[in-house]
Amino acid sequence: MRIALDDVGVGQLSLEWLHDGLLSALKLDRVLIARLGTERGRAITAGVITAAHGAGCTVTAEGVETDDELHHLQDLHCDTAQGFHIATPRPLEDLPNLAADTTKL
């Protein structure tokens, strides 16, 4: 069984969960992504991504809205991204004709 933790950056993430191998994936909240334009924001996001990878987790960034955010995430070795910059919401009936609205970085 795989366990993913959503909204990382606005909730509480116990580092013990990473240490004990309880999680297999993290999803970074838009709050972290929006702060990638600052040195402090990049440093914090880089730390979360590095810790997650060290624990064997994959990392998805949600709410990617600009080229700059996407490039910062690529530089930080984030695994996947999703958001309006990549694809806009579409009706359910379009789903079979679309690739996932997630981009491998």
CB 83 within 8 A of CB 73: no
Model pLDDT, residue 81: 95
Q: How far is CA 52 from CA 42, 83, 89, 93, in A?
A: 15, 21, 28, 35
Instruction: Transcribe 30-59 into DSSP letters.
Output: HHHHHTTTSHHHHHHHHHHHHHHHHTT-EE
Task: Give the whole-number percent of the chain exceeding pLDDT 90.
Answer: 58
Summarize the confidence of residues 26-53 as an average pLDDT: 95
The total of other beta-carbon atoms located within 10 Å of residue 3's CB is 11
pLDDT of residue 101: 52
All domains in the chain, ordered by first residue: 4-104 (3.20.20.450)
Does residue 42 have a pLDDT over 90?
yes
Q: pTM value?
A: 0.81
